[in-house]
Amino acid sequence: MVSNATEPDRSHSTVLASWSARKVRPIVVLYVVAVFAAFILLSVVVFHSQEAVKALAMAAVAAVAATVPGVLEKVEYRMTGSGIEKRPVKKNQLTEFKEVFLWDELHHIVMMRHGFKYSKKMVETNPLRRFWKANFSAEFSGEVHVEKQDLERIVGIVERHM
């Protein structure tokens, strides 16, 4: 195996923790249904429009159908001494872990109920580019999802690294 001088060698990193989580929490489907139900109720009570009810019902089915694959898809995370890695969980198919971030390049972490958001350090002097990279680019920020049963354990390990 040939390694770049700029890339750290993570092949021998100690695995501190591993967990899996869904890309989209199941409660999101209920939120989508609730929003469409409110608009359907509004269109019946206020506008008395059956066409609007039909159109909203079809849109609700499409929105739920588009959300379900995210709920069913799981991601496996691995926290090592050098950082956090992830890979999709697929039946009978193991893929390589891909780096999410290294501890050295981490700027800050914000804890959430379903995991945490992270931001990497960046050297950018232009304020517009810095704003764009910090808020819209997946290269310098993102989310790591953690299921409720693993949240306390993973957050404790992350806080020790900060």
With CA atoms as reference, report the closest residue to 10 among 102, 76, 88.
102
The two structure tokens encoding residue 39 = 């608009």
Summarize pLDDT for 78-104 with one digit per residue, the tens. 999 999 999 999 888 888 999 999 999
Cβ atoms of 97 and 86 closer than 8 Å: yes
Q: Which residue has the higher pLDDT, 91 or 46?
A: 46
For the chain, the domains span: 15-23+80-161, 27-72
Q: What order do you get walking across the sheet with 83-89 strand by strand? A: 15-22, 74-80, 83-89, 98-102
* DSSP single-letter state for residue 90: B
Kindly report the pTM of this predicted structure.
0.74
What average pLDDT score do residues 139-157 get?
Answer: 90
pLDDT reading at 45 higher than 60: yes
| pLDDT given at position 128 | 93
| pLDDT given at position 162 | 74
pLDDT reading at 5 higher than 50: no
